[in-house]
Amino acid sequence: MICSIVPPYMLRRLAARPEPRLRAIARAAKESLLHIKGLQAARALPVPATPPGARQATPTPPKRTIYDAASTETLPGTLVRKEGMPPVGDAAADEAYDGLGDTHSLYADVFERNSIDGAGLKLDATVHFGELYDNAFWDGRQMVFGDGDGQIFQRFTKSLTVIGHELAHGVTQYTAGLAYRNQAGALNESMSDVFGVLVEQYARKQPAAEANWLIGEGLFTDAVQGAALRSLKAPGTAYDDDVLGKDPQPDSMDSYVRTTADNGGVHINSGIPNRAFYLVASELGGNAWEAPGQIWYGTLTSGSLPAACTFGKFARTTIATAEELFGSGSAEHDAVLKAWETVKVKV
């Protein structure tokens, strides 16, 4: 499964820009679109190595390896840093190394999960991929980061939520195996957004009330009118820019987008379950990786989510998980019920 951080609708908009000053951006966006499409056609979703709900191995220290593609599209590239080595002075390589470590720490410390697959999977990443490459992606085996075009996007290792988001696709791959289409695909994207912000919040020891709840903060250059790619707190408000357009995410089922583009709107409609998680965390207060995170992680690893899961099925499973963990009528259980009611997902 190839999952990239920049939505295809954003890249298509950039690719269609006719202005001479944006010619390099349009070309970079076209190349990114073609590259991701080619990878998706070439690779099928691997069979999960760890059955959903299986008992995980005791967490072990991370095993990180960072490679440099040197502006080519050859993977993995040249080894530049491996586990235990000091910083190498390349911002992208060192950010990737640290981000992989922060992601590993969340799963190990909070969820007692041994790396992405639950069995100590090595964490490999390649930086400086392609020329002006406007994306970062998990290819089913490793992380890959572009440096951006310099006019719209900066290097993709700058955002810890991007690193956490993409590696979470690996966790979903090895647990629920949610299909990357329609509502299941939107849930797949939402789980990555949720755990992406949790990686950042846990690394910063930041309670829910102090967090910004943004995915991709710091990716845009100063020329862009926008804070990030997406907002879990307020879907549809992350950016509003003359070149990029306006953030199209809905915040409830009232504005659900029915489309065949973007695999049935996986990057768009993910705003609905994203907001549900934010509402639970906001209602409960404290640290979002604690009760809210345990409920969402327990749901993902429950073994009860079908590959073609709907929002309704996912919501019912979070409610059941909250009841199992905290009891019926508990503050946690009631917060989950209230959140799904607010975003108007029928349970």
The residues that are catalytic are 166, 267
Half-sphere exposure of 109 (CA within 13 A, CB side): 13
Contacts of 86 (CB under 8 A, 6+ apart): none
Cα-flanking dihedrals φ and ψ of residue 124, to 5°?
-105, 145
Half-sphere exposure of 194 (CA within 13 A, CB side): 32
Q: For residues 8 and 4, what is the distance between their CA atoms, to the nearest angstrom?
A: 9
Q: For residues 58 and 55, what is the distance between their CA atoms, to the nearest angstrom?
A: 9
- CA 111 vs CA 68, 106, 156, 294, 324: distances in Å: 31, 7, 26, 7, 16
Number of residues assigned to the chain: 347
Give the CA-trace dihedral at 198, 33, 179, 341, to 10 degrees: 50
Parallel/antiparallel/unpaired status of strands 123-127 and 64-68? parallel
Supply 31's token pair: 């190349």
- CA 64 vs CA 126, 128, 143, 172: distances in Å: 11, 17, 11, 20
Beta-sheet strands, E only, within 216-294: 230-231, 240-241, 245-246
- Does the N-terminal peptide bond of residue 76 adopt cis geometry, omega within 30 degrees of 0? yes
Place of tokens 């400086």: 128
Q: For residues 160 and 215, what is the distance between their CA atoms, to the nearest angstrom?
A: 9
Nearest one of 125, 132, 151 to 31, comparing CA atoms = 132
Amino acid (one-letter) located at 211: A
E strand or H helix at 195: helix 182-204
